[in-house]
């Protein structure tokens, strides 16, 4: 008799992940409004969830999955998952760290350059035919700037390595000093009056202190956690900041919009903000590695070897 295969609930349109899971697991797909009905039909038998992080896995939904053992998240950020509820149940949660560090660091530097050198604006200038009427105006440069990094984790370190090639002063602020990065640290952000990037973890831990806002009119931002509240947007519209490069993600993750794909109209109207559709890790190469790690976490768990990349809140011992 063939043993019954483990049932996996796949959330979030992950066709490549599902193809890799199907030879070993019984995969049930759902997203959005489809989830409720599928959980009603299949919930008692579901032992694993693979999620893209777009659908909320809260305590109420987890309670409807009594056999659930593991949640494998496609991505580093996992704030769509109620990890406290999972931990109370003994459910392990995994994510996909490390495999996207370089891709996202490349992207952060690209955003920095796009913001400072006003590349999207220059592109629109050419496409609209305005070059026929005159040259694009002179703009700012990295040459006379100090770059401040807020956060010096896996991705922050990669960003610093790339910025070193630009031969500009670099300082960073982090919860703990790093001895493996050859750049200066500072306990205060008040002297960062030029350009700064954000690369703190948004998934669970509280962010480090906000940078001092007295950094002058040319402070360009490339990174995460932009405040989208209307009063702050008013300051940007008035020219308080030279520019902001924003990457998107639900609920303040690696690339942030608060309610993607809906973007506040106030942001859309700003010419000095770079807005991109959640593409920080969006290459075939890196997304393939992320998907493979989701699959490997599930395979390892059900083969009795434990999770490969459990998040800190659910770092359980290896499965017996």
- Which residues belong to the active site? 224, 260, 278
- Residue 63 DSSP SS3: helix
Please report, in angstroms and rounded to a whole number, the separation of the first and last CA atoms in the chain: 25
Bond prior to 110 in cis (omega within 30° of 0): no
Q: Are 300 and 306 in contact (CB under 8 A)?
A: yes
Torsion of CA 155, 157, 159, 162, to 10 degrees: -140
- Residue 129 DSSP SS3: coil
Question: What separation in angstroms does the CA of 14 have from each of 6, 80, 223, 253, 295?
Answer: 18, 16, 26, 19, 11
Q: Are 112 and 197 in contact (CB under 8 A)?
A: yes
Q: Given the structure tokens 């924003």, which residue do they identify?
A: 246
Name the token pair of 12: 């979030």
How deeply is 316 buried, as exposed, middle or buried, from its count of CB atoms within 10 A (0-12, 13-18, 19+)? middle
Q: Given the structure tokens 């659908």, which residue do they identify?
A: 55
- Residue 39 DSSP SS3: helix
Q: DSSP assignment, residue 260?
A: T
Cα separation of 242 and 121, whole Å? Answer: 13
């Amino acid at each position: 008799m063939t043993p019954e295969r483990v049932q996996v609930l796949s959330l979030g349109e992950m066709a490549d992940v599902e193809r890799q899971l199907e030879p070993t697991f019984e995969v049930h797909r759902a997203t959005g409004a489809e989830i409720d009905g599928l959980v009603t039909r299949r919930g008692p038998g579901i032992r694993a969830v693979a999620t893209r992080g777009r659908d909320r896995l809260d305590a109420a939904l987890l309670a409807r999955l009594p056999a659930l053992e593991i949640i494998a998240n496609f991505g580093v950020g996992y704030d769509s998952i109620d990890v406290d509820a999972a931990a109370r149940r003994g459910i392990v949660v995994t994510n996909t760290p490390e495999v996207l560090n370089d891709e996202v660091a490349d992207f952060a530097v690209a955003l920095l350059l796009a913001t400072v050198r006003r590349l999207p604006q220059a592109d629109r200038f050419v496409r609209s035919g305005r070059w026929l009427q005159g040259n694009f105006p002179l703009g700012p440069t990295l040459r006379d700037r100090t770059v401040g990094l807020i956060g010096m984790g896996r991705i922050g370190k990669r960003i610093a390595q790339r910025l070193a090639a630009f031969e500009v002063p670099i300082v960073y602020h982090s919860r703990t000093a790093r001895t493996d990065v050859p750049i200066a640290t500072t306990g205060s952000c008040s002297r960062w009056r030029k350009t700064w990037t954000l690369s703190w973890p948004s998934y669970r831990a509280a962010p480090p202190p906000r940078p001092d806002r007295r950094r002058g009119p040319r402070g360009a931002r490339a990174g995460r956690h932009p405040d989208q509240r209307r009063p702050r947007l008013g300051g940007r519209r008035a020219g308080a900041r030279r520019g902001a490069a924003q990457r998107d993600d639900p609920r303040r993750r690696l690339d942030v919009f608060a309610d993607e794909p809906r973007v506040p109209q106030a942001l859309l109207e700003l010419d000095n903000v770079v807005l991109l559709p959640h593409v920080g890790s969006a290459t075939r190469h890196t997304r393939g590695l992320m998907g493979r790690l989701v699959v490997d976490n599930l395979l390892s768990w059900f083969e009795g070897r434990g999770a490969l990349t459990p998040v800190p809140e659910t770092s359980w011992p290896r499965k017996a």
